[in-house]
Amino acid sequence: MSAFEDFVLLAPREVPLGGPRGMTVHRTLPARATSLIGAWCFVDHFGPDDVSTGGGMQVARHPHTGLATVSWLFDGAITHRDSLGSHALVRPGDVDMMVAGSGITHSEFSALDTTILHGIQLWYALPDRTRYGVQRFEVSTPPVIGNDDARARVGLGSFRGELEDGTVLEDRSATETDTPLSMVQLDLRAGSTLRIALDPGHEYGLLVDRGAAQLTAVGPTADAEAGSAARPAVDAASSDEGPLTGDRSARAAERELLVLPDGATVLEIRAEEGEDLRAMLLGGEPLGEDILMWWNFVGRSHEEIVEFRARYQAEIGAEGTLAEAPIHPEARSRGGLSADAEQFGPFAPHTPAALPAPALPNGRLRSRGRVGIPKD
C-alpha cells in the first residue's frame, strides 16, 4: 500500500443522481489519486438542494455487496427502506448505517416534508473476513459536544480535540463497525483553532462542507522535538514510524476532500475568517486489501462482480433466469445461502420498480488499493 508524505487534494466532480430531475452530487472518493481512506471507499456530498425545484433524492431499490453505507444529513430527511424489512426516517444528526454483507437492496427518497436536502453519503469496504457476513441496519444519534467556538458530533469511532483556551472535546461512538473507523462532524467559529489527536497508524481525510480551513499535520518526530511547551497537548498516540517527520500545511475549501499525510499524530484546524467552518473528519485503520468497485458492488475479483450482477438482474426480472444466474459459490458458502435463496432479499410490495444494473464494460474490471490508479 502506498503512503502519502503530504496532503493530497481530492477535488469534487459532479455526478447526477436519480435521473434528470434528481439532484447533483459532488463525488470526491474514489479518485485517481486514491480509492481508500482507511476502509472508506466512496464519498458523495450533496446540497443544499431545493427539493421543490431539483427533485431531491429519488433512488429506487438497488443492490449492494461487500460494503456498508453510511448517511449523514445536515438538512432535510430521507426515508430508508431495505430488504431486511427496515423502514426508517433519517434526520440531521443521525448515523444511518446499513451493512450489505453478501447482498442487500435498499431505496432512499427525500421525505415528503423536506424542502432543503443537504448531507453526505459514504461507503466503507468490508474486510474480507466479514464481507459475506450478516446484513444489518441501525440508526443512532450521537450528542453534540463543545461550546460556541467549536462543536463536534462523533458519528463513528473516537475523537479528542483541544481548543486554544484548553477546553477539551472528547467522545466515543457506541456504533460498531467491521473495521476501525472514525467519522466526526466539526463546526468551528471563524477564526477558531482546534487541535485534534490522531492515531498515527490510521489514514485520515477532511471534507469541507462550508467555509475554509488552514490545516497543519504534525508528525511524531517534529512533535517530540518541539516539546510539550511549544504546543498544547492533546494526548496524541506516540509513534516513531510513518513518513511524516515534520509539519505539513494545506488549505481546504468548500466541497474539497484533503487526505492527510500518513503518520500524523496531531491535526490543527484553523477556520478562516469570514464564514464559520463545517467539516467532516474521516479516518480509519488501513484496509490493507485491494478491492474491485463497480456500480453498487464491492468485490475481490472480476468474476464475483459478474455473478453478483447476473443474480441481481435475474432476481428483479430484468435479465436472465435464476437457473442461469446461480449465487456465487463464496456467497453461498460464507454467507450461508441456499441455492434457491434470494441473495438480494425480498422487498416491500407497491414500491417503485428496482433499478436495473448497467452493462458491464468490455474489458476486465481491475482492482484498486490505497492509490486509485488501476493495476495492469
Q: What is the pLDDT of residues 117-138, one digit of tens each?
A: 999 999 999 999 999 999 999 9
**Cα distance from N-terminal residue to C-terminal residue, the chain:** 16
Q: Residues 226-269: pLDDT tens digits?
A: 433 334 344 433 333 455 667 999 999 999 999 999 999 999 99
CATH number, domain 142-289, options 2.40.50.180, 3.30.2010.10, 3.40.50.10470, 2.60.120.10: 2.60.120.10
Alpha helices per DSSP H over 146-285? 220-226
The pLDDT score that the predictor gives to residue 347 is 86
Q: pLDDT for 268-320, tens place per residue?
A: 999 999 999 999 999 999 999 999 999 999 999 999 999 999 999 999 999 99
d(CA 341, CA 339) in angstroms, rounded, equals 6
315-346 pLDDT, tens digit per residue, is 999 999 999 999 999 999 999 999 899 999 88
**184-201 tens-digit pLDDT:** 999 999 999 999 999 999
Distance CA 297, CA 360 (A): 12
Burial 263-277, CB ≥16 within 10 A → b, else e:
bbbbbbbbbbeeeeb
- The residue with cell 468474476 is 303
- Confidence class of residue 369 from pLDDT cuts 50, 70 and 90? confident
The reported pLDDT for the residue numbered 230 is: 35
- Residues 71 and 141: their CA atoms lie apart, in Å, by 12
Q: What pLDDT shows up at residue 22?
A: 65
CATH topology of domain 26-140+294-301+329-376: Jelly Rolls (2.60.120)
Whether the pLDDT of residue 18 is over 90: the answer is no
The residue extents of the domains of the chain are 26-140+294-301+329-376, 142-289
Asked if pLDDT for residue 358 goes beyond 90, the answer is: yes
Amino acid 223: pLDDT: 41
Q: Which burial class, exposed, middle or buried, applies to 195 when counting CB atoms under 10 A from its CB (0-12, 13-18, 19+)?
A: buried
Q: What percent of the chain has pLDDT over 90?
A: 80
Residues with Cβ within 8 Å of 31's Cβ and at least 6 positions away in sequence, in order, are: 10, 11, 372
Q: What is the pTM of this model?
A: 0.92
How far apart are alpha carbons 174 and 169 in whole angstroms?
17
How many helices, marked H, and strands, marked E, lie in the chain?
A: 4, 26
Say if residue 375's pLDDT is above 70: no
Query: Per-residue pLDDT for 211 more than 90?
Result: yes
For 311, the grid coordinates are 443474480
Please, what is the average pLDDT of the chain? 90
Beta bridge partners of 126: none
φ, ψ of residue 155 in degrees (nearest 5): -75, -40
Average pLDDT on 22-27 reads: 86
- Show the CA angle centred on residue 148, arms to residues 146 and 152, nearest 5°: 35
**Fold match flag (26-140+294-301+329-376 vs 142-289):** yes
Q: What is the pLDDT of residue 1?
A: 62
CB–CB of 376/368 below 8 Å?
A: no
H helix or E strand, kind and range, residue 54:
helix 51-54
Question: Position 352: which residue type?
Answer: P
Task: Give me the pLDDT at residue 21, please.
Answer: 59
Distances (CA, A) of 277 to 93, 193, 319, 342: 17, 11, 48, 45
Give the pLDDT band of residue 221 (cuts 50, 70, 90): low
* Torsions phi, psi for 305 (to 5 deg): -60, -40
